[in-house]
């Protein structure tokens, strides 16, 4: 049975933007404030905040309050839905690559 694409679609939409992918990579290393994230990009803090809002709405990140600071953290569980959906197709590539290997070896 294949995984449910509906649960993975918001994640795929959120990660469709290269800036948001870069933000996810940063948050995979450590939790960061908006200003810390903005320092890695040539855009304003409000622009970064909009990207973070998209990631939050897809549940890719979690935002917590620490005093006056908002800390952004990666939510790996949301990425698992997308990963599970993609991994479902591994057998397809395994079969295709095995057939290619056989064809190359038969020609040799």
- Specify the pLDDT at position 97: 77
Q: What would the pLDDT profile of 51-83 be if each residue is shown by its tens digit? A: 999 999 999 999 999 899 999 999 999 898 888
Average pLDDT, rounded, for the chain:
89
- Specify the pLDDT at position 64: 96
Reduced to 3 states (helix: H, G, I; strand: E, B; else coil), residue 58 is: coil
What band does 11 get if pLDDT is binned at 50, 70 and 90? very high
Distances (CA, A) of 56 to 4, 21, 64, 104: 20, 13, 11, 47
| Contact by Cβ (8 Å): 60, 74 | yes
As a residue count, the chain comes to 108
Strands (E), 1-108: 32-33, 61-66, 69-74
Pick from 67, 63, 17: nearest CA to 43:
17
């Amino acid at each position: 049975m294949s995984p449910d694409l509906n649960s993975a679609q918001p994640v795929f939409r959120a990660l469709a933007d290269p800036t948001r992918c870069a933000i996810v990579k940063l948050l995979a290393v450590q939790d960061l404030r908006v200003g810390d994230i903005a320092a890695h990009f040539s855009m304003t803090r409000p622009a970064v905040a909009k990207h973070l809002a998209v990631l939050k709405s897809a549940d890719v990140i979690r935002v917590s309050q620490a005093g006056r600071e908002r800390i952004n953290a990666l939510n790996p569980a949301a990425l698992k839905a997308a990963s599970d959906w993609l991994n479902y197709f591994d057998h397809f590539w395994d079969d295709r690559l095995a057939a290619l290997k056989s064809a190359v070896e038969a020609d040799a």
